Every structure is written in C-alpha cells, then in structure tokens.
Structure 1
C-alpha cells in the first residue's frame, strides 16, 4: 500500500507562496501553468531495449482492449461496459463488492504459438520514438516547494522470466532431471509489466535516480559513476524478457542466483510517447494532466491510473495445465500480473519505496549458500571446507570433553567441607517439631 504523508499547505498554495520568496518554485506546475517543467524533460531517462527481446513497450489502450476483467478467473457478469483508459477505475467498486482483486485477463492463451502481435508491443524508430502507441506514464510528485520526484513508468504487455540458462551454478544442476526446465521453459512469466525509474529533484537539479528491478531495485546518487548519461540524460538498460532496469549493460545477478542480460539494442525515448501528470499529495490521490511542448494534455485520460487491480492474468492454479512448478524452489511458470503505478509508493520518503520486500526463508538460504559457494563450496574447496568444519567440530568436542572431565575431578576432590557457620541444636529441634 502506498504510504501517506501529510503536508501543511495545499499544493498550489505552497507554490504561490514559494514563488514569492524563491526562484526555484517558479518552474513547478501550477493551475495557471500546467506544463511539464523543462528540467524534467531535459533529465528524463533514455532506455536501451535488449537487442533480442521480442517483447517491446506496449500501448496501454491496446492492452486493455485485448483483456477481460475477471475475479478468480471468472468473467465479471455485472460489468458490461467496454473497457478503455477512461473507465478502468470503475472496476475498483466491482472488486470491492466481491472482496477480491480484479485481473485484466488476456483474451489470448499465452502458450498458444504464435503469440498475438499485441503482446509483442512496438519497436522504436531510429530516433527512439514509438509511433501509434503510448507505453509511458510520467507522474510528478511535489514533496516540498523545493523537492519534486519524477516517476517514469514503462509498460509492456508481456514479461518473460528466466530459464535454465539464467540460473547460476551449482543451482542449475538441481533441474537436470526436469524435462520442462531443460527444454528451456521460462518461469515467472506474466501478462502485463510495469517498470519505472524515479528521479529526485531539489531546486530543479537532479540528485538521485531509482531503477526498478523485479520485486526491488537500485538507487544511485546523480553523480555516481555507475550512472551513465547521454546529453545529460541518464541511460537505462532494460533486461532481456524481464524488463528490469539497470544502470549498465552486461550481466546482472538478481535474487542471488538468477541472471538478467542487458545490451544497447534499441534506443527508446519514453517521453516522446507518454502521458504526463501531477499528483497532489494532499488530496485523495488526485492526478492532474500536464501539457508538454510535444502534445496537449486535453485528451489525457486519468481513470486508468486510479485502477487498483492487476494488469494481467491472475496466477494460474496448479490444476491448470498451463501451470508448471520449478522443483525445490516452488517457482511458477506463470505468475500474476502486476498492479499499476498507484501502488508503487509514489509518496515515498527517499529514493527507495518505504515498504521494501522481505526475503523468504528459501531466498535467505539461497543467498547464504551462494555467498559461500565461490570461496568455500565450489569444486575442491568443498572438501577443504568440509575438512575444516570437521576439524573445528572435533576440536570443540575434544575441548568440551576436557572441560567436563576437569570439572568432575575438581568436584570429587572437594569431598566433605565444613560449613563456615554453626547451627544451634535447638534450631534443629524446632524445625523437627514443625
């Protein structure tokens, strides 16, 4: 759930008062000037899509038009309206009535090949622009008159998880007898995928950037050497299939044992095909469309951003023939689709979401094992480590035995000891009478 913060004055009142005393507030959006600040556009991320990723950024409306709202994988009979970006939030009341979350369920089977074209999204042209699609949403959140967080959300209709080639050794050997895994089955796939970057600004200057990655992410200071830039704009590498965002190309390990691959395949400039909004944190999550020099905000929809359900299928039950389970780790072939921008902690206090995920016992165990594997458990090292552990254990056992024997000897040597005080006989007699 998004954390709530209370601000002492309304957004536009703060802007008006700050404008009289500081020059920095004059560039922030106001009702009279509902235009995206130029500095937000100047420092907006540039995304490099992986050269072999078939699943590109997708149009939001096209995605919705190819889904059916369902609860527990059953169509909602009470909702007969044709879905679009202007009425998607109407599903919230339906889900509330059923005390269940609504899922936008694909009208096409995700295992029937070839997959429909809408799941593959759109490829940007040489300039980085995606035509005939809006796959990006930019939301500006003013934390104080001097501080603003700019969220850049990227949407893909399909997320393809990893396969056996993306599992580090020696854990990959655990699946050698699983035919589906060995045949290249991907796990963690889901319909719909929301990723994002967030850039923090103070006095119109960027100070930090956050990269979403699977269930967590990474944050960097703006001048961190890990953050590469082009014409002052930060570079983002979208991982093959999963679309996790990274600050550099190459291989990246996530969840301690899985690999994401990034390269500079296709340049995508998200702000060339995006909706822009300002979030008023003092209100009950109210979004105001913002105009850019590229396009007017008069036609920007807002209902889809208030939608609290899932942007893809619910997780298939084990009884569904499409569902498979990876042994040992209970990883599913198909996961549930994600929720939208509203649930991404837009009112966070720092770069990272305020509520970060906790690791399960399995994840914790894998992390410990993989941290020890290179130095202590790999190849001949396991014999040395085993011998060392046996030696340490034997030493502890011998030491404990010696301590116990010495303690017993001392106890026996003590024998009878006279008390340092005398008890009068009449006290003993009195106790005996009692």
Structure 2
C-alpha cells in the first residue's frame, strides 16, 4: 500500500497514455519513422538507438498540461466509493420489502433483522485506493526458496526539490519501486527506492495495513520512505529534504499489470493474473522522458553544478531485478533495519535529478 501526500501535484500515470503525449527522439533529433507508431508492444524497436533514445514531451512541461499531472488517476478514497454506490442506488433503487408467496420472511432467516441494501457493506466502505493508472508487478523467482515481488510505480513528471528556493532535478517520466522478499512463502524483508539509493527493512519492522506493508511517497519527487514526515538527505541542516504524509492511499493490487521475470535468461512474460499485459515495453533501453535541456533552452539553469531539468529515467529492467541482496546497489553494504527511523541505507543518496543516471544493472 502506497500513501501519497495531500500536497501532491503529480499523480500516478499510465505508461500507455504517457506514450500518447511523447515523441521518440535520438538525443535531440526526432525519430520520424516511429513518430506516430509507438505502443507498449513495439517500444523496444527504439533499442537500435540504445541509451540515446528519449521519449520527449510534445508539450511545454512548464505549462503543466493535464496529462503530466495525472489528476484523473488520483487514488480513490473510501468516501469516493461510498458516493459512487449511492449514485448507482439513486438510478437503481432497491425493491421495497413485501410478502412474496412461498418465500420466507426476513426474520425467518436471521435474528439480526433484514440486510439494509441502502448502505454499502463495511467491506465496500473500506475499499479505497484504486487508481486508474496501473502499477507494474514483476515477480522474480530465485534460488533457495527466495521470490522477490517488485512493485513499480510510474509518474509522467518528477518535480525536484528546492535548495535556497531554487528548484533542481525536474524531469519528464519517473519510475519508483518497492520490493518484498519472500523466503519459502513467508515475507522476510522490504526494500524501498530513494533518489538512486534506498533502504531495506525487516518485514516485521514496517508499518502495516492489515498484513500489507505501508510505504510513503514524497511530494513531487515520489521517493519512497517507510514513515511520514520530513526526510533530509545529502545536504546538512535539512536544506534538502523530502516530505511525506498520510495522504490518499494507493492500493496497486486493485489495478496492475503482473509479470514473471527469469533473471538468468532475462525473459519477461505476463502472468496468469493479467495474461494480456503488454511485454515489449519492458525491453526498451532508452529514457522515459526528455533529454536534459541544453543551456540554450530558456527553461534550463545550472547552480552548484546541478540542473533545473535533467534527463528522464530508464525503466524497470535496469533496477537489478536479479539482485542477491535485498538492496539494489551491488557494491554497497546492505543494512537491513529492524526498526523505523534514521539509519543506514543502500548507498549514498544523490542530489535531486542525479538519480536518473543510476547504475545500469540487468
């Protein structure tokens, strides 16, 4: 379960819709052969351009087009579900109770009285968190009874943080992920991504919604944390920080594409849960957003060696899905924490935007 913030402006997005509003570029040159022929089933045809392929926004991102913010994909609250139930109820009211020959009365069935169909069930009232933007679940079986379940969350825009009221690290396209490691069917650990690094926790340590882990997505950057609040990183005195809170709850199990990945053969297939989920997009080796704007672009500026706009990220395939340790980074020490709070992490966190140059690990 992912908790977004009340202040969020850039919500979960559908990668299929993202393709509608972007065009393929080789660095800064339009790839005309696929300008109007991009789908999740053929996106890997851009691999002839390798890392030089970019999905560039067709709109000026500073004008904040609607698709960039994903406002139609805001996770629904239980109140939204309740209101929808009553809208349906007004259109199709329940039949008035009456005596039907040969049928038992309600008090012959139950001592608790008749079921009130004018109100949604408790289960329905509690069932919120649906987003119209599907998440991506990739299950990776490994040796010794280990199975890693990766959840990937996509956003069409990353709003970087501010330092001294100067914003750095904006980029089109944003992939974040969490992972639950199972051993012999029992959940053992949780990993969450943060700015090119991340943190690992024992499963028992993290907050739960029922039996499911709860994670917190930061405003704008969508970096993931295990607790709500302010999260300073990189710079001293809290000059640079993410913020999380108990905002709308996103339940990705209600709408997702599910896959199984063989990390030795590097083969991905759709799972029985979603057998028709597209696959080819996973193999796309390019960037899911614009290339870093040149200094000649009036939207771009540089300060302390950091840029206002940076390049979009590469996709889930390159997040070390075959990792042996719970942590993503191979060279870093992997500390699995048994408590919530300040502590060790998976390598050094980076300044905003630097995470798009993350290690390329297949």
TM-score, normalising length: structure 2 = 0.74
- Superposition pairs of residues 359-398 of structure 1, within 5 angstroms: none
Pairwise CA distance, 1:143: 1.1
Taking the aligned partners of 2:36 and 2:44, their CA distance within structure 1 comes to 12
Taking the aligned partners of 1:64 and 1:192, their CA distance within structure 2 comes to 11
Of 249, 256, 268, the residue aligned with 2:228 is 249
The 3-state SS of whatever aligns with 1:144 is coil
**Cα deviation 1:174-211 (Å, max 9, x = unaligned):** xxxxxxx4xxx421000000000011100101111111
- Structure 2, unaligned stretches of length 5 or more? 78-127, 333-346, 352-362
Pairwise CA distance, 1:354: 3.5
Match of 2:156 in 1: 157
User: Residues 79, 356 of structure 1: CA spacing in aligned structure 2 closer, same or farther, 3 A cutoff?
Assistant: farther
- Further displaced range: 148-157 or 248-257: 248-257
The 3-state SS of whatever aligns with 2:34 is coil
Pairwise CA distance, 1:230: 1.1
Q: Is 1:87 aligned to residue 88 of structure 2? A: no
Pairwise CA distance, 1:74: 1.1
Contact 1:216 1:356 in 2 (8 A): no
**Cα deviation 1:244-276 (Å, max 9, x = unaligned):** 000000001122341100001101001211100
**Cα deviation 1:216-241 (Å, max 9, x = unaligned):** 111111122xx111101111000010
Taking the aligned partners of 2:331 and 2:235, their CA distance within structure 1 comes to 17
The 3-state SS of whatever aligns with 1:251 is strand
Match of 1:14 in 2: none
Match of 1:104 in 2: 55
Match of 2:327 in 1: 352
Contact 2:259 2:270 in 1 (8 A): yes
Match of 2:337 in 1: none
The 3-state SS of whatever aligns with 1:53 is coil
Match of 1:286 in 2: 267
Of 196, 211, 216, the residue aligned with 1:237 is 216
Q: Is 1:58 aligned to residue 33 of structure 2? A: no
Match of 2:170 in 1: 189
- Superposition pairs of residues 163-202 of structure 1, within 5 angstroms: 163-164=162-163, 172=164, 181=165, 185-202=166-183
Of 269, 278, 301, the residue aligned with 1:324 is 301
Pairwise CA distance, 1:298: 3.0
User: Residues 337, 81 of structure 1: CA spacing in aligned structure 2 closer, same or farther, 3 A cutoff?
Assistant: same
User: Residues 325, 356 of structure 1: CA spacing in aligned structure 2 closer, same or farther, 3 A cutoff?
Assistant: farther
Match of 1:7 in 2: none
Match of 1:309 in 2: 286
Of 248, 253, 265, the residue aligned with 1:266 is 248
Taking the aligned partners of 1:66 and 1:355, their CA distance within structure 2 comes to 35
Q: Is 1:341 aligned to residue 316 of structure 2? A: yes
Taking the aligned partners of 2:146 and 2:20, their CA distance within structure 1 comes to 37
What is the number of equivalent residue pairs in this alignment?
282
Of 199, 202, 214, the residue aligned with 1:218 is 199
Contact 2:263 2:321 in 1 (8 A): no
Contact 2:292 2:309 in 1 (8 A): yes
Match of 1:275 in 2: 257
Pairwise CA distance, 1:359: 6.1
Match of 2:2 in 1: 47
The 3-state SS of whatever aligns with 2:67 is helix
Pairwise CA distance, 1:81: 5.1
Structure 1 or 2: larger strand share? Answer: 2
**The structure with more radius of gyration:** 1
Taking the aligned partners of 2:282 and 2:185, their CA distance within structure 1 comes to 26
Match of 2:341 in 1: none
Q: Is 1:76 aligned to residue 53 of structure 2? A: no
User: Residues 57, 82 of structure 1: CA spacing in aligned structure 2 closer, same or farther, 3 A cutoff?
Assistant: same
Taking the aligned partners of 1:256 and 1:222, their CA distance within structure 2 comes to 29
**Cα deviation 1:292-318 (Å, max 9, x = unaligned):** 3xxxx2321001111110000011111
Taking the aligned partners of 2:10 and 2:198, their CA distance within structure 1 comes to 21
Taking the aligned partners of 1:190 and 1:260, their CA distance within structure 2 comes to 16
The 3-state SS of whatever aligns with 2:46 is helix
Match of 1:11 in 2: none
